[in-house]
Copies of this chain bind each other. A is one copy, B any other.
Amino acid sequence: MDTTEFRRRGKEMVDLIADYLENIEQRTVYPDVEPGYLRSLIPEEAPEEPDTYEDVVKDIERVIMPGVTHWHSPYFYAYFPTANSFPAMLADMLSGAIGCIGFSWAASPACTELETVMMDWLGKMLKLPEDFIAGTHGQGGGVIQGTASEATLVALLAARCRAVRMILASDPQRPETGITSKLVAYSSDQFCATLGTTPSCAFDHITELGPICNAEKIWMHIDAAYAGSSFICPEFRPLLNGIEFADSFNFNAHKWLLVNFDCSTMWVKKRSDLIGAFEMDPLYLKHDHQESGRYFCTDNSLFRSLKMWFVFRIYGLKGLQDYIRKHVELAKEFESLVRADQRFEISADVVLGLVCFRLKGSNEVNETLLKRINNGRKIHLVPCLLSGQFVLRFALCARTTESRHIREAWQLITQLAEEVMQELPH
């Protein structure tokens, strides 16, 4: 395929994508396929000779779509949102074409530099303490990771590096081997300090944890994977109070901030802790600006910051705040619907865009209700377990979800609940 054909196929693909997202509401949100469905639909081996492009495109509807869970359908309320916006998609197209691997400043200066500046922009949108901003002379700053798990691993390795350095500084005679096996990490069953847990969007009290960590010289990493995006709104920013005690902080802009996956944004107060943990210096990565050009490991970024740049500029801060607020309002609206029905109860405070609820009654009746909901395939939810209770999670996810969708969802849920309650003791 040459550039001439790409011009044609690329434009067809733009229309295919626009058609898909324009009509996504008509599709079954949760696919009705059995494990292994796909293998029988395509050959067992790659073709020797090229297939035609037309055949490949036809197979999108024949092979792929029947097995897609449509995360961007306004009837999708499972897990947490994952971002999907047109500005981010346009930036991703450009990023793919430039196709640079940013493993050092010299490998693509624009890639490293835009990432650092975009992380400053976002840090300022969140009103992070100055310590986390790189600026021109700061010691901290941000770097994009793939997922919150990756950010946690990176934080753990940076914490280990700092602990070893501290121990060696206080006792320079001590041999370095053996130190790491004596280090301890503290966590809850959600791991590290978390703002907005996955099951119920619960918040740790970081203003209580923080001073203890600081006094004991324990590295504090805060994960706000889902909730972090909301902190760009002044009314939700207090949820981040205590951030000044943290050594590192992470949230997923690819969840709720309209920046397509992957874009897990992580900040540290001292870049030197990260550099110490990840530095590697083979000759083929050295360059003339080794020192001044080193922000830090940009994590094989394929220009993920381009997505941030496009999204922040084309929405503007106000547009992003409006988007967050709309989801929270819709969650509050759904909460009111639940509270108005005496058969149901709310299982956790509704702080942002997640409503945890259940039928008053046994776990069994709630499990049956959820199964009925998902088997209907009109809407899609997943459960969680809170203090032993089986709970349904209703997460505002899609960019295009409106009040009418959640009212429709609630009507369906109550109708199925009625059926289930007639059949089962509760």
Contacts and interface: CB of A to CB of B under 8 A. Distances in A.
A146 B103 CA distance: 13
B110 A67 contact: yes
Contacts of A300: 146-147, 261-262
Given A99-B260, A198-B284, A284-B393, A6 B35 contact: no
A361 to B, nearest CB: 18
A279 interface: no
B21 A97 contact: yes
29 contacts: A1-B86, A6-B14, A6-B89, A35-B289, A35-B293, A38-B114, A39-B136, A42-B117, A44-B121, A46-B124, A46-B316, A47-B317, A50-B316, A51-B316, A53-B314, A56-B314, A63-B110, A64-B110, A65-B110, A70-B98, A79-B107, A84-B96, A88-B96, A92-B92, A146-B146, A147-B300, A181-B181, A286-B383, A288-B371
A294 to B, nearest CB: 8
Interface in A216-243: none
Interface string A357-390: 0000000000000010000000000111100001
Interface residues of A, number: 125
A129 interface: no
B1 A38 contact: no
A188 interface: no
Contacts of A94: 13, 16-17, 60
A105 interface: yes
A101 interface: yes
Interface in A246-287: 260-262, 282-286
A172 interface: no
Given A3-B18, A124-B45, A109 B69 contact: yes
A98 B68 contact: yes
Contacts of A33: 109
Interface in A384-417: 384-385, 390, 393
Given A64-B110, A260-B99, A284-B382, A317 B48 contact: yes
A216 to B, nearest CB: 24
A41 to B, nearest CB: 9
Interface string A115-127: 0110011101100
B60 A261 contact: no
A421 B36 CA distance: 65
A87 interface: yes
Contacts of A50: 313-316, 318-319
A292 B36 CA distance: 9
Contact of A284 (B16, B17, B79): B79
